[in-house]
Amino acid sequence: MTEEQFIKNVTEQIRCIRARAGIERELADHIADQTAAYEEAGEAHEEAVRKAVQEMGDPVAVGVELDRIHRPQIDYKMIGMAFVFSILGYFLLCAVNAEGMAQHPEYLTRQRIILLLSFGVMAGMYFLDYTFIGRYAYGIYVFLTIIVYCSTAVAARKGTVSISFMLLYLYVPVYAGILYRLRRRGYAAVAAAIAMMIVTTLLAGAISIHMMIHICLMCTVLFVIAVWKGWFGAGKRTLFLFFAGVFALFTAAVFVFGVYRPGWENGFKTQRLLGWLQPEKYAEGAGYTYMWIRNTLKTVKFIGASDAFMDGTLIGGEMPFPTEPFVLFQVICEYGILAGILVVLAFTAVIIRAFQIVRRQRNQLGFMIAAACFVVLFANCTEGILMNSGYYLISSMQFPFLSQGACTAITYAAIIGLLLSIYRNERIVTQEPSEQRGWRLKVNIKLEKR
Amino acid sequence: MAIDKALISGSTSMLLLRLLEDKDMYGYEMIETLQKKSNNVFMLKAGTLYPLLHSLEAKNYLISYESEVNGKQRRYYSITKAGRKYLQSRKEEWQEYQAAVLNVLWEAVL
């Protein structure tokens, strides 16, 4: 049997095609080493190869054994949670907005379409090989930027607010891909990674200050992980000091240009901050909503609807804020604390599962993208829960599984789909995806000596 | 001396993890080192080695990475924290088993 025949017989037993390349190379290397050893011992080349191949053992048995190991895995826990929570989320949204849904039956149809769309996106990402983010990180970055900004421009022309801002969260896994492409390239790569972080933060800032802070923090977390794992081959302490300086300057700049302005105390954003930090003092103004939520939550029951909330005695009719980010608050008021705890437990279960997927990853790209997905889920769920308690700055954040917006549903579906894809390919993508593939601009500089 | 295969098969993963405790190695290097260290008693076939290494990696006892040495790209294996823990438990198990066997054998002789 020749070397090629042996390797072919082994790989034919392995059903997952993408797992074959790494195994082929490893076996070929082994045969080459063994052949060299026999040649060193005085064997002719042909004989050395024949003996080396014979020593490898039965190719079919080896292939069958490797096939058993290298199979796509299905994360039943995450799939089950995504499916059940999406359906429950749909019913919960219908229940808390029953009045609105009854008046506008088209909302119900829209919600069903969004549900199906999110299942479609999740399935699409699940079957896609997530390593494409590592290969085409820059291309995807540009594509995402075009999508987000075109939709924002269209919305601005119509005089409405863009609803696609949630798509900005997809920058986070793409940034993970960029960090992956920059690894092992020293200090220049560190500068490039920080530059990309600042550009991404500013791009997000052009749409929303809230998103800007979120994206900046999330990218920071990924960057710190990359440095900590030695991706840039630079001293951790030096890098952290350097990074801390950049981060402090940038945060100061955000604060100065974003919040502090002439007449700042009357500015809308400053008022919002003051209303959050001192709601009692600004109870008639920016602090009103915080006080309203806190007072309403004092009236809730463990099981069943809060009388005050249902009567509208605390609110005089309407809720003083958009209802969508406050689904959890509504659930607690209408169904009791127990229902709220169940919703929080559902989010916690998804976050814990996402964290478990991150921890399992041996592949560097898989690890970093999974970490990006985890960070997005963790930050939004935590912020949402705190915000619904009336103790955190009110923003337009959206919960996973509980959104009425198509872009939010697509974003979270893509994030969960990516986690499923990473888990699925865990035992397949054993070697790092080639750094040579993807789009790269080549510049040749010729230096001539005169 | 030819050793009964059944005696070796269950402990191969333990031996491989022990080798990797000292330094990261690639497949061929592991077979050679094991052979040398055991005075040619453990002559592992590549067909046995790679499925075993891949299954240990799937269990997170090992991680693999590509590295270029002398102009040749090799796939190295490195023991993880979980791998070290597992090795320790297998060693203890093995010591207990060995002591029990020796006890019985010596008792039978005496």
Question: Could you report the per-residue pLDDT of A13-26, keeping only the tens digit for each?
Answer: 988 887 888 889 89
* pLDDT score for A442: 43
More confident residue, A121 or A286: A121
ipTM value greater than 0.90: no
* pLDDT score for A441: 43
Cβ–Cβ contact A238 with B under 8 A: no
Measured between alpha carbons, how far is A153 from A105 in angstroms, rounded to an integer? 30
Task: Determine the residue among A362, A364, A436 to mutate to test chain B binding: the one whose Cβ has the most chain B Cβ atoms within 10 Å.
Answer: A362
Cβ–Cβ contact A55 with B under 8 A: yes
- Domain ranges, ordered by start, for chain B: 5-109
A143 pLDDT higher than 60: yes
Cβ–Cβ contact A30 with B under 8 A: yes
| Distance to chain B for A33, nearest Cα, Å | 7
Cβ–Cβ contact B75 with A under 8 A: yes
The string of pLDDT tens digits covering residues A24-49 is 989 999 999 999 999 998 889 999 99
Pairing of strands B25-26, B62-69: unpaired
Residue of A nearest to B32 (CA): A34
Measured between alpha carbons, how far is B93 from A263 in angstroms, rounded to an integer? 74
Which residues of B are less than 8 Å from A59 in CB distance? Answer: 47
Residue B110 CB contacts under 8 Å (≥ 6 apart), including other chains: none
Which residues of A are less than 8 Å from B47 in CB distance? Answer: 56-59, 61-62
Residue A362 tokens read as 């041996």
- Surface-to-core class of residue A201, CB atoms within 10 Å of its CB (0-12 exposed, 13-18 middle, 19+ buried): buried
Q: Match 């009692």 to its residue by tokens.
A: A280
A311 pLDDT higher than 80: no
Residue A280 tokens read as 């009692």
A430 pLDDT higher than 70: no
Contact B28 A25 (CB under 8 A): no
Residue A25 CB contacts under 8 Å (≥ 6 apart), including other chains: B73, B75
A445 pLDDT higher than 80: no
Closest CA to A371 of A226, A233, A257, A165: A226
Q: Match 């993963």 to its residue by tokens.
A: B13
Cβ–Cβ contact A431 with B under 8 A: yes
Cβ proximity of A334 and A297 under 8 Å: no
Closest CA to A376 of A117, A174, A85, A241: A174
% chain A with pLDDT above 90: 39
Q: Using CB atoms, which residue from A69, A430, A431 is nearest to B51?
A: A69
Cβ–Cβ contact A25 with B under 8 A: yes
3-state helix, strand, coil split of chain A in percent (to 5) is: 70, 0, 30
Residue of B nearest to A66 (CA): B51
Average pLDDT, chain B: 85
Q: Match 């105390």 to its residue by tokens.
A: A265
Cβ proximity of A423 and A357 under 8 Å: yes
Q: pLDDT class for B70, splitting at 50, 70, 90?
A: confident
Measured between alpha carbons, how far is B101 from A349 in angstroms, rounded to an integer? 48
Cβ–Cβ contact B51 with A under 8 A: yes
Supply the pTM of this predicted model. 0.78
Q: pLDDT class for A99, splitting at 50, 70, 90?
A: confident
* pLDDT score for A20: 86
* pLDDT score for A257: 63
Q: Which helix (H) or strand (E) holds A260?
A: none
Is the domain covering B5-109 a CATH 3.30.870.10 domain? no
- List helix spans (H) across A229-258: 236-258
Which residues of B are less than 8 Å from A27 in CB distance? Answer: 46, 50
| Distance to chain B for A415, nearest Cα, Å | 24
DSSP classification of residue A410: H
| Distance to chain B for A58, nearest Cα, Å | 7
* pLDDT score for B20: 95
Cβ–Cβ contact B42 with A under 8 A: no
B39 pLDDT higher than 60: yes
Task: Determine the residue among A69, A356, A427, A432 to mutate to test chain B binding: the one whose Cβ has the most chain B Cβ atoms within 10 Å.
Answer: A69
Which residues of A are less than 8 Å from B51 in CB distance? Answer: 62, 65-66, 68-69
More confident residue, A318 or A175: A175
Q: pLDDT class for A316, splitting at 50, 70, 90?
A: very low
Closest CA to A360 of B61, B84, B65, B77: B61
Cβ proximity of B80 and B62 under 8 Å: yes
Rounded to 5 degrees, φ, ψ at A139 are -65, -45
Residue B66 CB contacts under 8 Å (≥ 6 apart), including other chains: A431, A432, B73, B74, B75, B76
Mean pLDDT over residues A341-360, rounded? Answer: 95
* pLDDT score for A266: 59
Residue A442 tokens read as 């080549």
Q: pLDDT class for A125, splitting at 50, 70, 90?
A: very high
Which residues of B are less than 8 Å from A70 in CB distance? Answer: 54
Task: Determine the residue among B26, B54, B56, B80 to mutate to test chain A binding: the one whose Cβ has the most chain A Cβ atoms within 10 Å.
Answer: B54
Starting from the edge strand earliest in sequence, which strands make up the sheet with B72-79, in order?
B25-26, B72-79, B62-69
* pLDDT score for A403: 82
Q: Match 């191969």 to its residue by tokens.
A: B12
Cβ–Cβ contact B74 with A under 8 A: yes
What are the beta bridge partners of residue B77?
A: B25, B64
Cβ–Cβ contact B63 with A under 8 A: yes
